[in-house]
A = this chain, B = another copy of it.
Amino acid sequence: MPKRDNISMSVIRRLPRYHRFLSHLHEDGVTRISSTELSDKLGLTASQIRQDLNCFGGFGQQGYGYIVDQLCKEIGEILGLQNQYKAILVGAGNLGQAIASHMNFQADGFTLAGIFDSSPFKIGNRIGGIEILDVQELERFCEREKPVMAVLCVPREAVNEISERLYRLGIRSFWNFSHYDVAVQFPDVIVENVHLNDSLMTLCYQIKNKAQQAEKES
């Protein structure tokens, strides 16, 4: 089955989950999985999974299931993880430091090439072997290294100026942890927002809503 051209973001967003799940299975020594078992564990229907994978040409055989290792690799290739896009991180506060040290960028398709901050207390320190550079060095670094993605962990006051600078330096994709919608300012950039506060507030609403429902029913 040929690969389709326009694949919806909701399909794309399920792929990392498949990949994560399959790589855990692989780590656990599982070599083959039936589509029913896979769907049970993922909390999706087997037909949903089949449909998703069919967007990319289809995998697995009827009645045989999926070969874990192979499917995992193929999904990784669809995601483009082999590209190892060069990335920088700006803002080495609590969150920036945690992201730099906690995340395995390589496993997710990126190489973290530089970390930047403006604080003299941070500049020169190392996180996971990478030196924190003065944000003043941004221009020189980007011209030399040509990163394509920037992780934004700067405070709200700084994000406007920083994202403009990064845009001028040719960066067109952002992993955005700052409280700011970069995409509104630059419509031609790719932005993946991680708004932790929004996520926490949404959880708050759901707790409140469940409590209200329970009250009504009692």
Measured CA separation A31–B44 after assembly (Å): 46
Chain B contacts for A103, CB-based, 8 A: 196-197, 200
Cross-chain contact B181 with A192 (CB below 8 angstroms): no
How would you classify the secondary structure of chain A's contact residues: helix, strand, loop or mixed? helix
Q: Which stretch (A13-21, A46-54, A61-69) binds chain B? A: A13-21
Question: Nearest chain B CB to A45's CB is how many angstroms away?
Answer: 13
Measured CA separation A13–B205 after assembly (Å): 10
Question: Please, how many residues of chain A have a CB less than 8 angstroms from a CB on the other chain?
Answer: 61
Chain B contacts for A205, CB-based, 8 A: 12, 15, 78-80
Chain B contacts for A183, CB-based, 8 A: 43
Measured CA separation A207–B109 after assembly (Å): 10
Near B by CB (< 8 A), chain A positions 118-134 give none
Give the residue name and chain of the B residue nearest to A44 (CB): B184
Cross-chain contact A93 with B102 (CB below 8 angstroms): yes
Near B by CB (< 8 A), chain A positions 186-218 give 190, 192, 194-210
Cross-chain contact B190 with A203 (CB below 8 angstroms): yes
Cross-chain contact A194 with B194 (CB below 8 angstroms): yes
Cross-chain contact A110 with B204 (CB below 8 angstroms): yes
Whether A85 is near chain B, meaning CB under 8 Å from some CB there, is yes
Whether A148 is near chain B, meaning CB under 8 Å from some CB there, is yes
Near B by CB (< 8 A), chain A positions 125-154 give 148-149
Give the residue name and chain of the B residue nearest to A204 (CB): B109
Interface centre among A19, A41, A179, A208 (most CB of B within 10 A): A208
The 15 listed contacts between A and B (C-beta, < 8 Å) are A15-B201, A17-B195, A24-B179, A41-B184, A43-B184, A80-B205, A81-B201, A94-B102, A148-B207, A175-B199, A175-B203, A190-B203, A190-B207, A192-B206, A194-B199
